[in-house]
Amino acid sequence: MNDTSTRYVSTRGHSDCKPFCDILLDGLAPDGGLYLPKRYPTVDTATLGRWRQVYHRQGYADLAFEILSLYIDDIPPADLRALCHKAYTALVFGTGEIVPLRHLENGLWIQALSNGPTLAFKDVAMQLLGHLFEYELARRGETLNILGATSGDTGSAAEYAMRGKRGVRVFMISPQGRMSDFQQAQMFSLTDANIFNISVDGVFDDCQDVVKAISSDADFKRDYKIGMVNSINWARLLAQVVYYFAGYFQATDTGTGTGTDTEPVSFAVPSGNFGNAFAGHVARQMGLPIASLVVATNENDVLDEFFKTGVYRPRGSANTLATSSPSMDISRASNFERLVFDLQGRDPAATRQLFADTLVHAGQFDLSLHPAFGDLAARYGFVSGKSLHSDRIATIQDTYERHGMMIDPHTACAVKVAHEYRQPGVPMIVFETALPAKFAQTLIEATGRSPDRPARFDGLENRPRRIHMMPADAGTIMAFIAEHANGCR
């Protein structure tokens, strides 16, 4: 076959056309760009109908296999199917549907992406990544030491996905005393031998600085086989494409696993690094009938500003507000470069100019006069909005009072913005990206009640913990990694 969609290029022009498993372990392209498939495979209505049946009869893992196999030609199909089945089980996700939909009111749905081990949507992609990493490292006879910084959700999703996996160790740096009690208990109670929680005296930015310092040391990175699982990893995005299809099939089901497969639906996505929303763009480019992709931000509204004005104005950490939807407190959306690449007709020189030559324009740019910006809503479906703390509290309260349903502050942000873009007859699916149990304080403020916690988390705070305390110093942490790293004699 010579289907170019299974090969990958960089947004900045590096064009080795790598196969999937190379970029799985690479992360960033050598020119600093992000990987994308050479083109998006497209599916017709008949294929959508067949996938609908696959999801209905065989379930989420087989649907994931169908979609992933269009992008992966260097894992034998039987192995890829087995990996999907290992990742997407009712045991891990607490429900056989993996990403079930529930109806809120007249065509407004909530799609639960947050039933995985850490109660946030990042589990959906990360669980698959854990199995892909273990498989590919074994095949190559290699090992990997994953290094990361976390303010909460990403680190724990990575740790729960990689715990006990052969060939992988995780070194996760977090700021001492800055995460919620639940988040700390969740991470630090992992006692698996391949998980190392490094708690440093500092804030999240200090943790990130340490990771940057270590990963810019090419010798250390090579000698100690340092890898990353950050949100620019293409495999994570690809795994997220699957639940758009699963949401679509559920919202348009006529009752028996059938539907027209042409009826449009919209999605509202709580956004930060733009990975989740970009996966929707990929699904739409593939041919899924998506009317609008509603990008919802909190007070950190870099993306909302871009979609409204065409001006992209990332902010520094000093200008990033700490909000009640902390996983969206991001002012430089790392996946945004992928969209800009597509908007500019996939011209790597134009993308390079905007993202690499930041000395010229301080990282900001204005696409308001670019023809692609005028087309953004009509051609690509993107619209946006934002919420303030008071909006989220009001939305949580309203949803609880009228429907008896508790939603978390990230989901509430998207529910609020979704209402601004309802179209008659078009179902609107709002992604639930975390369970309310993770953000008890805000739920109590809004409803006066504590959210329920899944039974498996009973007594979480009292479990034994394994933490390594250190100063936020790259040298100290490098010495620690050198001592505990995998396969580096």
Ligand X SMILES: *Cc1c(COP(=O)(O)O)cnc(C)c1O
H or E element at residue 171: strand 168-175
> Minimum Å distance from CB 407 to ligand X?
11
Alpha-carbon span 33 to 219, nearest angstrom: 21
Q: Closest approach of Cβ 105 to ligand X, in Å?
A: 22
Q: Which is nearer to ligand X, 350 or 440 (CB)?
A: 440
247 neighbors 241 (Cβ within 8 angstroms): no
In the complex, minimum distance from the CB of residue 128 to ligand X, in angstroms, rounded to a whole number: 15
Q: Which is nearer to ligand X, 231 or 324 (CB)?
A: 231
- Give the residue ranges of DSSP H helices in 299-447: 302-309, 336-343, 348-355, 358-361, 371-380, 389-403, 409-419, 440-447
Among residues 18, 38, 86, 122, the one annotated as catalytic is: 122
Choice from 410, 437, 470, 477 touching ligand X (CB under 6 A): 410
CA–CA separation, 108 vs 213, rounded Å? 45
Tell me the two tokens of residue 389. 């703390």
Q: Decide: is 328 part of the binding site for ligand X (CB under 6 A).
A: yes
Q: Decide whether 134 or 153 has the Cβ nearer to ligand X.
A: 153
**C-beta closer to ligand X: residue 80 or 237:** 237
Residue 436 exposed, middle or buried by CB count within 10 Å (0-12, 13-18, 19+): buried
**Among 10, 143, 194, 276, contact with ligand X (rule: CB under 6 A):** 276
Q: Does 231 bind ligand X (CB under 6 A)?
A: yes
CA separation, residue 144 to residues 23, 87, 188, 289, 368 (Å): 14, 20, 21, 39, 43
Question: Min. distance of Cβ 330 from ligand X in angstroms?
Answer: 6
Minimum Å distance from CB 273 to ligand X? 3
Q: In angstroms, how far is CA 298 from the centroid of its own chain? A: 17
Q: Where are the alpha helices (DSSP H) in 163-217?
A: 181-188, 204-215
Report the residue number, 453 or 484, with the smaller CB distance to ligand X: 453
Site string for ligand X, 433-462 (x = CB under 6 A): xx----------------------------
Size of interface with ligand X, in residues (CB under 6 A):
17
Lookup: tokens for 288 = 């899924």
Whose Cβ is closer to ligand X: residue 233's or residue 486's? Answer: 233
Q: Provide the residue count of the chain.
A: 489
Distance CA(14)–CA(29), nearest Å, equals: 7
The edge-to-edge listing of strands for the beta sheet with 108-112 is 101-105, 108-112, 428-432, 265-270, 290-297, 382-386
Nearer to ligand X, 276 or 384 (CB): 276
Q: How far is CA 257 from CA 112, 154, 289, 431, in A?
A: 19, 34, 17, 22
Q: Does 342 bind ligand X (CB under 6 A)?
A: no
For the chain, how far is it from start to end, CA to CA, in angstroms? 41
In the complex, what is the shortest distance from the CB of residue 62 to ligand X, in angstroms, rounded to a whole number? Answer: 25
- Taking the complex as a whole, how short is the minimal distance between the CB of residue 396 and ligand X, in angstroms? 14
Closest CB 120 distance from ligand X, rounded Å: 4
What's 277-340 look like in SS3? HHHHHHHHHHCCCEEEEEEEECCCCHHHHHHHHCEECCCCHHHCCCCCCHHHCCCCCCCHHHHH
Per-residue contact string for residues 102-121; x = within reach of ligand X by CB under 6 A: ------------------x-
Measured from the CB atom, the residue of 66 and 432 that comes closer to ligand X is 432
Alpha carbons 209 and 215: distance in angstroms, whole number: 10
Q: Is residue 124 part of the contact set for ligand X (CB under 6 A)?
A: no
12, 122, 281, 338: residue in contact with ligand X (rule CB under 6 A):
122
Catalytic-residue membership of 122:
yes
The answer to whether 438 and 120 have CB atoms below 8 angstroms apart is yes
Q: At what angle do helices 45-57 and 60-68 cross, to 10 degrees?
A: 150
Taking each helix axis as running N to C, give the angle between helix 122-140 and helix 77-87, from 0 to 180 degrees, rounded to the nearest 10: 140
Number of other CB atoms surrounding residue 51 within 10 Å: 22
Nearer to ligand X, 120 or 149 (CB): 120
Binding mask 236-275 for ligand X (x = CB under 6 A): ----------------------------------xxxxxx
- Closest distance between ligand X and the C-beta of residue 275, in Å? 3
**Could you list the residues that contact ligand X (CB under 6 A)?**
120, 122, 153, 231, 270-277, 327-328, 410, 433-434
Which residues are catalytic, by number? 122
